[in-house]
Chains A and B, each alone.
Chain A
Amino acid sequence: MIEYALWFAFTCFGIGQLFCLFRLVFAPGVGDRVLALDTMAINMIALIALFGILHDTTMYFEIMMLFAMVGFVSTVAYAKFLLRGDVIE
């Protein structure tokens, strides 16, 4: 039963990732691109977690943690750049 649920979640997040990619390429504004990139990082964390369950290994935690931190910092840096024209003043 878990396996079916696992593949269902894989499919959902994969399609979500495609939606984000679409929005990243065809975006009406810069803010949407930043948001799409942030969502892609978040969805990627979910995909890695699912991959960890599938392979029954605890090896991927550090990767998820790094994705979360780098995604957050890069999004804030992009937004800060749009807002002020500079990242660190």
Chain B
Amino acid sequence: MEQIGEILISALLVLGGLFGLVGSYGLVKLPDQMTRLHAPTKAATLGVGGVLIASLMWFAFFGEAPSWHELLITLFLFLTAPITGMMISKANMHLTWEPDELPHCGPDMQWATYGDSAERSLMDGETSQDQRDHRE
């Protein structure tokens, strides 16, 4: 029983470490801003999940009782990673892309980043003129 636990925990630790390393390496290696967003939000989250599950099992096998706090933190990270990814990608879109470079998202509609709700002050002059015309 202990042998199985050791093998399981070691495998989870190694897998988690590899995933975390790949995620952080992707942050340096990948070529552009949006692709760079993929690596940490997916791979690094998976790596941390693996390590936290390994920690849960360590305390289940060798401690007094399984500690469910780890599961809580894993769930929290898995819930929040897509949200942070979306927020950062929206900020990237807002800061680096012009509205005409993006695909159309329907008649009489604009991407939420550039719509009425978007702030003018962060965009450059030409684009904001276009936007103002479009709104009027």
Contacts and interface: CB of A to CB of B under 8 A. Distances in A.
Nearest to A64: B73
A53 B58 contact: yes
Interface in A28-76: 28-32, 34-36, 38-39, 42-43, 45-46, 49-50, 52-53, 56, 58, 61, 64-65, 68-69, 72, 75-76
Contacts, number: 177
Interface centre among B18, B48, B62 (most CB of A within 10 A): B48
Contacts of A17: 24
Interface residues of B, number: 57
A76 B89 CA distance: 11
Contacts of B45: 42
A64 B48 CA distance: 11
A46 B16 contact: yes
Given A4-B10, A13-B21, A80-B87, A58 B67 contact: yes
Interface of B: 6-7, 9-11, 13-14, 16-18, 20-21, 23-25, 27-28, 33, 36-37, 40, 44-45, 47-48, 51-52, 54-55, 58-59, 62-63, 67, 69-70, 72-73, 76-77, 80-81, 83-84, 87-88, 90-92, 94-96, 113, 118-119, 121-122
Interface of A: 1-2, 4-6, 8-13, 15-17, 19-20, 22-23, 28-32, 34-36, 38-39, 42-43, 45-46, 49-50, 52-53, 56, 58, 61, 64-65, 68-69, 72, 75-76, 79-80, 82-86
